[in-house]
Amino acid sequence: MSSIGRRGALAALLAMVLAPLGAQQSIPIQNGAPVPPPGLPVPPLPNEPIVYPTAEGMDIRVSVVARGLENPWSLAFLPNGDMLVTERNAGRLRLIRDGALVPAPVAGVPEVRGVGLSGLMDVVLHPRFDETRFVYLSYNKPFGEQAGLAVARGRWNGQALTDVRDIFETRDAGSISRLAFGADGMLYVTTFGGTGDAAQDPSSLAGKVLRLRDDGSVPPDNPFVGRSGYRPEIFTMGHRSPLGLALHPASGQLWEVEMGPNGGDELNVLRPGANYGWPVVSYGRTYPGPWQSEKGSTHEGFEAPLVYWMPSISTSGLAFYTGNRLPKWKGDVFVGGMRYGEIPGTGRLERVLFNENMEELRRESLLVDLRQRIRDVRQGPDELLYLVTDHATDGAVLRIEPAN
């Protein structure tokens, strides 16, 4: 043993002796994971607009469009600029008409099982909505005592959904789900992977992005159609918590964001049949501390993320900004963040700037001072950005416009 080796052994011995003496405080543990701290106090949303500087020299004004929503989760724009907003646990669909929240919920929504982080999830319009009037909802469907995921489709008659029916359902998957239509006219449905191995199991629909026709049937050109042991609905696999899904405006590819366990949030470009690694490869740790993956952060046979975050910002919704009203942000990607580094009260809107080869150049954290959990982000038909903030009693829809 070298002199340094002996010193190392001595240091290790010293560590054992000294550690209980108080160099390290004890961390409260519950269910094998550290109890989160109280977090930063979250001031109430002001009713008056707030102006913030941003990194590109553009000031923005953030205004409340609607508030008092119960855990709003997603937002869809009707062609006239009115908005449909889901309220997760209450299982309500709300209408914002001419900039004002209509008090009565939209009729025609199926019965929803609103528990924990699940309930009524996403709302999206059919790509030919003007012609079909179809609105799609993903939700936690009660199967007796069991939860399941369903996608319902109904027709918008101007004030309610009619002819509502489930076009897809499964008891495999967790019931948190994002929806998006692809450039190919197909409906993409994300499913929750959770903590187990189901995201790697091709016979399970959990932890996947599914590709369906607009009536819920399986298109015959899906990547695993006819492959033994594989569910034909699967487009991609190996996802943990795919809560953001959006169509890249130029490439026509779907981009997806998912939150890592304790760090390792990912922004992925979805390729047919690809495996994104959860829970086998990850940039993140487990909540009690050890790394998630023995294989490391990237591994052959698994798709590497385009962008990742360490620590976690608890990614949620995803949008591309293609408008002209916020010119410094044109072409940039926006990701909702619920909290930074596992600390409550640290939500933000994250902006990611890419070069022409879709390689990241830099990142900006926006609206940090607001301390809201940013659940979703969308571009409006007015080329402004709209946010949904997660709060049990005063969730809001916010608008971002230029202020200089």
Shortest Å distance, C-beta 158 to a second copy: 33
Long-range CB contact pairs, 341-344, < 8 A, 24+: 341/311, 341/312, 342/36, 342/262, 342/287, 342/311, 342/312, 343/36, 343/37, 343/39, 343/40, 344/36, 344/37, 344/38, 344/39, 344/40
Instruction: Draw the binding track, 299-318, toward a second copy (x: CB under 8 A; -: no contact).
Output: ---------xxxx-------
The one among 97, 328, 383, 394 contacting a second copy by CB under 8 A: 328
Residue closer to a second copy, measured from CB, 87 or 332 = 332
- CB-based burial, 260-288: b 16+ in 10 Å, e otherwise: bbbbbbbbbbbeeebbbbbbbbbbbbbbe
Instruction: For residue 24, give both structure tokens.
Output: 């390290």
By CB under 8 A, which span of 75-83, 106-114, 138-146, 345-353 interacts with a second copy? Answer: 345-353
The one among 213, 368, 394, 403 contacting a second copy by CB under 8 A: 368
The one among 50, 354, 383, 403 contacting a second copy by CB under 8 A: 354
Shortest Å distance, C-beta 123 to a second copy: 25
Instruction: Draw the binding track, 219-238, toward a second copy (x: CB under 8 A; -: no contact).
Output: --x-x---------------
Binding of residue 68 to a second copy (CB under 8 A): no
The answer to whether 358 and 366 have CB atoms below 8 angstroms apart is no
By CB under 8 A, which span of 70-78, 85-93, 168-176, 344-352 interacts with a second copy? Answer: 344-352
Q: What is the spatial distance between Cα 127 and Cα 34, in angstroms, rounded to a whole number?
A: 44
Residue 179, classified by CB atoms within 10 Å of its CB into exposed (0-12), middle (13-18) or buried (19+), is buried
Shortest Å distance, C-beta 361 to a second copy: 5
User: At 20, which amino acid appears?
Assistant: P
Shortest Å distance, C-beta 256 to a second copy: 16
Instruction: For residue 388, give both structure tokens.
Output: 């949904």
- Alpha-helical (H) ranges within 48-179 are 129-132
The answer to whether 175 and 139 have CB atoms below 8 angstroms apart is yes
The one among 79, 103, 356, 393 contacting a second copy by CB under 8 A: 356
Going by DSSP bridges, is the β-strand pair 254-258/242-247 parallel, antiparallel, or unpaired? antiparallel
Query: Which residues ranging from 255 to 284 are in contact with a second copy (CB under 8 A)?
Result: 262-263, 271-272, 283
Residue 383, classified by CB atoms within 10 Å of its CB into exposed (0-12), middle (13-18) or buried (19+), is middle
Binding of residue 360 to a second copy (CB under 8 A): yes
Query: Which residues ranging from 24 to 53 are in contact with a second copy (CB under 8 A)?
Result: 24-25, 27, 34, 36-41, 53
The one among 191, 346, 372, 379 contacting a second copy by CB under 8 A: 346
The one among 104, 107, 115, 250 contacting a second copy by CB under 8 A: 250
By CB under 8 A, which span of 154-162, 226-234, 327-335, 388-396 interacts with a second copy? Answer: 327-335
Q: What is the spatial distance between Cα 246 and Cα 74, in angstroms, rounded to a whole number?
A: 13
Q: What is the spatial distance between Cα 190 and Cα 243, in angstroms, rounded to a whole number?
A: 7
3-state secondary structure of 351: strand
Query: Which residues ranging from 181 to 200 are in contact with a second copy (CB under 8 A)?
Result: 183-184
Instruction: Draw the binding track, 140-179, toward a second copy (x: CB under 8 A; -: no contact).
Output: ----------------------------------------
Binding of residue 290 to a second copy (CB under 8 A): yes
